[in-house]
Chain A
Amino acid sequence: MTEAVSKLPILQDPGDCHAEWRRPEAAAAPLELAAVRERLAAGRGPRYWRSLEEVAATPEFAQMLEREFPRFAAEWPSDVSRRNFLQLAAAGLGLAGLTACTRQPIEKIVPYVRQPEELVPGRPLLFATAMPLVGRAVPLLAESHEGRPTKVEGNPEHAASGGATSAIAQASVLGLYDPDRSQAPVYLGRAATWQEFDRQLGVVMGAQAGSGGAGLRLLTGPVTSPTEAAAIQGLLASYPQAKWHRWDPLHEDRALAGSLAAFGRALDVRYDLAKADVVLALDSDFLVGGAGAVRYARDFAARRKVTPEASGMNRLYVAEASPSATGTMADHRLALRPSQFPQLVLALAAALGVPGSSAPAGLDAATRRWSEAAARDLAAHRGRSLVIAGEALSAAAHAVVHAINAALGAAGETAIYSEAAEVDPVDAGASLAALTADLRAGQVDVLLVAGVNPVYDAPAGLDFASAINNGRTFTAHLGLHADETAELCRWHLPAAHYLESWGDARAFDGSVCLIQPLIEPLYGGRSLAEVVAAAGGRAGASGFDLLREQWQALSDDDFRRALHDGFVAGTEPPALAPEPGAGVAAALAELASAAPAEGFELALRPDPSVLDGRFANNGWLQECPKPITKLTWDNVLLLSPRSAQEIGASNEQVVDIEVAGRRLRAPAWILPGQPDGVATLHLGYGRARGGRVAEGCGVNAFALQGSTAEWNLQGASLAPADEKRPLACTQGHYAIEGWLEEESHEAERRHLVREASLEQYRADPAFVRAADEKHIDATTSFAPGFDYGQGYAWGMTIDLNACTGCNACVVACVAENNIPVVGRDQVRRGREMQWIRVDRYFRGGLDEPEAIVHQPVLCMQCEQAPCETVCPVAATTHSSEGLNDMVYNRCVGTRYCANNCPYKVRRFNFLLYQDWETPQLKLARNPDVTVRSRGVMEKCTYCVQRINHARIEAERERRTIRDGEARTACQQACPADAIVFGNLNDPEARVTKSKRDPRNYALLAELGTRPRTTYLAIVRNPNPELAG
Chain B
Amino acid sequence: MSVADPPRHPVVPRDPPVLAPGHTAASVTDKISSVVFGKMPVWFYAGMAVAFGGVMMLLLSLTKLVFTGIGIWGNNQPVGWAFDIINFVWWIGIGHAGTLISAILLLLRQEWRTSINRFAEAMTLFAVACAVIYPLFHTGRPWLAVYWLLPYPNTMGMWPNFRSPLIWDVFAVSTYGSVSLLFWYIGLIPDLGTLRDKAKNLWQKRIYGTLSMGWRGSARHWHNYEQAYLLLAGLSTPLVLSVHSVVSFDFASGQIPGWHTTIFPPYFVAGAVFAGFAMVITLALPLRRLFGLQDFITDKHLDNMSKVMLVTGLIVAYGYLMEAFTSWYSGNIFETYVMKNRLEGPYRWLYYSLLVCNVLAVQPLWFRRVRYSPLAIWAISMFVNVGMWLERFVIIPMSLHRDFLPSSWDMYYPTAWDFSTFFGTIGLFLALMFLFIRVFPAIAIFEMRTLTPEAKVKEPAH
Contact mask B201-232 → A, CB, 8 Å, 1/0? 00000000000000000000000000000000
CA distance A907 to B76 in the complex (A): 9
Task: Check B388 for interface membership: any CB of A closer than 8 A.
Answer: no
Task: Check B254 for interface membership: any CB of A closer than 8 A.
Answer: yes
Task: Check B311 for interface membership: any CB of A closer than 8 A.
Answer: no
Give the residues in chain A near B21, CB-CB below 8 Å: none
Contact A892 B149 (CB under 8 A): yes
Contact mask A891-918 → B, CB, 8 Å, 1/0? 1111110111011101111111000000
Contact B71 A831 (CB under 8 A): yes
Task: Check B400 for interface membership: any CB of A closer than 8 A.
Answer: yes
Please name 28 pairs of A and B residues whose Cβ atoms are closer than 8 Å in the assembled complex, sorted by A. A732-B407, A736-B346, A736-B411, A749-B333, A750-B404, A830-B410, A831-B71, A837-B407, A857-B405, A871-B164, A872-B164, A872-B170, A890-B148, A890-B158, A891-B141, A892-B140, A892-B149, A893-B141, A894-B135, A895-B80, A899-B254, A899-B400, A902-B255, A902-B256, A904-B404, A909-B140, A911-B68, A912-B69
Contact A896 B410 (CB under 8 A): no
Smallest beta-carbon distance A745→chain B, Å: 8
Chain B, range 147-177, C-beta contacts under 8 Å to A: 148-149, 158-161, 163-167, 170
From A729, which residue of chain B is reached at the shortest CB distance?
B410
Q: Size class of B's contact patch?
A: 35 or more
Task: Check A874 for interface membership: any CB of B closer than 8 A.
Answer: yes
Give the residues in chain B near A744, CB-CB below 8 Å: 406
From A867, which residue of chain B is reached at the shortest CB distance?
B255
Interface size on A, residues (CB 8 A): 58
Give the residues in chain A near B405, CB-CB below 8 Å: 747, 750, 752, 839, 857, 902-904, 1003-1004
Contact A934 B69 (CB under 8 A): yes
Give the residues in chain A near B167, CB-CB below 8 Å: 872
Chain B, range 245-276, C-beta contacts under 8 Å to A: 250, 253-256
Q: If A872-B170, A903-B404, A910-B75 touch, does A936 touch B254 (CB 8 Å cutoff)?
A: no
Contact mask B109-145 → A, CB, 8 Å, 1/0? 0000000000000000000000000010011111011
Contact A895 B255 (CB under 8 A): no
Give the residues in chain A near B7, CB-CB below 8 Å: none
Contact A910 B76 (CB under 8 A): yes
Contact B164 A900 (CB under 8 A): no
Q: How many A-B residue pairs have CB under 8 A?
A: 181
Q: Which of A747, A829, A893, A911 makes the CB contact (< 8 A) with B407?
A: A747
Contact A857 B254 (CB under 8 A): no
Contact A904 B403 (CB under 8 A): yes
Interface centre among B76, B165, B333, B405 (most CB of A within 10 A): B405
CA distance A240 to B306 in the complex (A): 101
Task: Check A731 for interface membership: any CB of B closer than 8 A.
Answer: yes
CA distance A448 to B158 in the complex (A): 65
CA distance A578 to B222 in the complex (A): 113
Q: Which A residues are closer than 8 A to B by beta carbons?
A: 731-733, 736, 739, 742-744, 746-747, 749-750, 752, 826, 829-832, 837, 839-841, 855, 857, 866, 869-874, 890-896, 898-900, 902-904, 906-912, 934-937, 1003-1004, 1007
Q: If A733-B411, A898-B77 touch, does A936 touch B406 (CB 8 Å cutoff)?
A: no
What are the 3 closest A-B residue pairs judged by CB atoms, nearest first?
A893-B140, A935-B140, A895-B80
Known: A873-B148, A892-B149, A893-B140. 18 other contacts (CB 8 A): A731-B408, A747-B406, A749-B333, A750-B406, A752-B406, A830-B410, A839-B405, A857-B405, A870-B163, A871-B164, A873-B145, A890-B158, A893-B141, A896-B80, A934-B141, A935-B70, A935-B140, A1003-B405
Contact mask B335-368 → A, CB, 8 Å, 1/0? 0010000000010000000000000000000000
From B404, which residue of chain A is reached at the shortest CB distance?
A902
Q: Which of B144, B164, B407 makes the CB contact (< 8 A) with A841?
A: B407
Task: Check B37 for interface membership: any CB of A closer than 8 A.
Answer: no
Contact B71 A840 (CB under 8 A): no
Interface centre among A733, A746, A752, A899 (most CB of B within 10 A): A899
From A855, which residue of chain B is reached at the shortest CB distance?
B407
Contact A732 B71 (CB under 8 A): no
Contact B71 A872 (CB under 8 A): no
Contact B166 A894 (CB under 8 A): yes
CA distance A822 to B140 in the complex (A): 17
Smallest beta-carbon distance A836→chain B, Å: 13
Task: Check B74 for interface membership: any CB of A closer than 8 A.
Answer: yes
Contact B71 A826 (CB under 8 A): yes
Task: Check B16 for interface membership: any CB of A closer than 8 A.
Answer: no
Smallest beta-carbon distance A112→chain B, Å: 37
Give the residues in chain A near B159, CB-CB below 8 Å: 874
Interface centre among B80, B145, B161 (most CB of A within 10 A): B80
Contact A872 B166 (CB under 8 A): yes
Q: If A893-B70, A893-B141, A937-B140 touch, does A1007 touch B78 (CB 8 Å cutoff)?
A: no
CA distance A894 to B70 in the complex (A): 10
Q: If A839-B405, A870-B165, A908-B80 touch, does A935 touch B410 (CB 8 Å cutoff)?
A: no
Interface majority SS on B: helix, strand, loop or mixed? loop
Q: If A736-B346, A899-B254 touch, does A872 touch B407 (CB 8 Å cutoff)?
A: no
Contact B158 A746 (CB under 8 A): no
Contact A895 B71 (CB under 8 A): no
Contact B161 A871 (CB under 8 A): yes
Task: Check B45 for interface membership: any CB of A closer than 8 A.
Answer: no
Give the residues in chain B near A869, CB-CB below 8 Å: 161, 163-164, 253
From A837, which residue of chain B is reached at the shortest CB distance?
B407
Smallest beta-carbon distance B301→chain A, Å: 40
Task: Check B409 for interface membership: any CB of A closer than 8 A.
Answer: yes
Contact A892 B256 (CB under 8 A): no
From A901, which residue of chain B is reached at the shortest CB distance?
B255
Smallest beta-carbon distance B402→chain A, Å: 8
Give the residues in chain A near B253, CB-CB below 8 Å: 869-870
Q: If A874-B158, A893-B140, A935-B139 touch, does A731 touch B166 (CB 8 Å cutoff)?
A: no
Give the residues in chain A near B158, CB-CB below 8 Å: 873-874, 890
Contact B77 A892 (CB under 8 A): no
Contact A899 B80 (CB under 8 A): yes
Q: Which of A750, A873, A937 makes the CB contact (< 8 A) with B333?
A: A750
Smallest beta-carbon distance B42→chain A, Å: 44
Task: Check B320 for interface membership: any CB of A closer than 8 A.
Answer: no
Contact B81 A899 (CB under 8 A): yes
Contact A1004 B404 (CB under 8 A): yes
Give the residues in chain A near B250, CB-CB below 8 Å: 896
Give the residues in chain B near A896, CB-CB below 8 Å: 80-81, 164, 166, 250, 254
Give the residues in chain B near A841, CB-CB below 8 Å: 406-407
CA distance A661 to B250 in the complex (A): 61
CA distance A937 to B406 in the complex (A): 22
Q: Which of B69, B81, B145, B164 makes the CB contact (< 8 A) with A911?
A: B69
CA distance A936 to B139 in the complex (A): 9
Contact B166 A870 (CB under 8 A): yes
Q: If A743-B406, A857-B407 touch, does A907 touch B160 (CB 8 Å cutoff)?
A: no
CA distance A831 to B160 in the complex (A): 28
CA distance A907 to B408 in the complex (A): 12
Q: If A732-B409, A831-B77, A873-B148 touch, does A894 touch B139 (CB 8 Å cutoff)?
A: yes
Give the residues in chain A near B163, CB-CB below 8 Å: 869-870
From B148, which residue of chain A is reached at the shortest CB distance?
A873
Q: If A742-B406, A1004-B404 touch, does A935 touch B69 (CB 8 Å cutoff)?
A: yes
Q: If A743-B407, A872-B170, A902-B255 touch, does A830 touch B78 (CB 8 Å cutoff)?
A: yes
CA distance A749 to B340 in the complex (A): 14
Q: Which of B74, B139, B164, B256 makes the CB contact (< 8 A) with A899?
A: B256
Contact A840 B80 (CB under 8 A): no
Give the residues in chain A near B139, CB-CB below 8 Å: 892-894, 935
Contact B141 A935 (CB under 8 A): yes
Give the residues in chain A near B140, CB-CB below 8 Å: 891-895, 908-910, 934-937
Smallest beta-carbon distance A822→chain B, Å: 9
Smallest beta-carbon distance B348→chain A, Å: 12
Contact A936 B141 (CB under 8 A): yes
From B146, which residue of chain A is reached at the shortest CB distance?
A892
From B255, which residue of chain A is reached at the shortest CB distance?
A866
Give the residues in chain A near B149, CB-CB below 8 Å: 872-873, 892
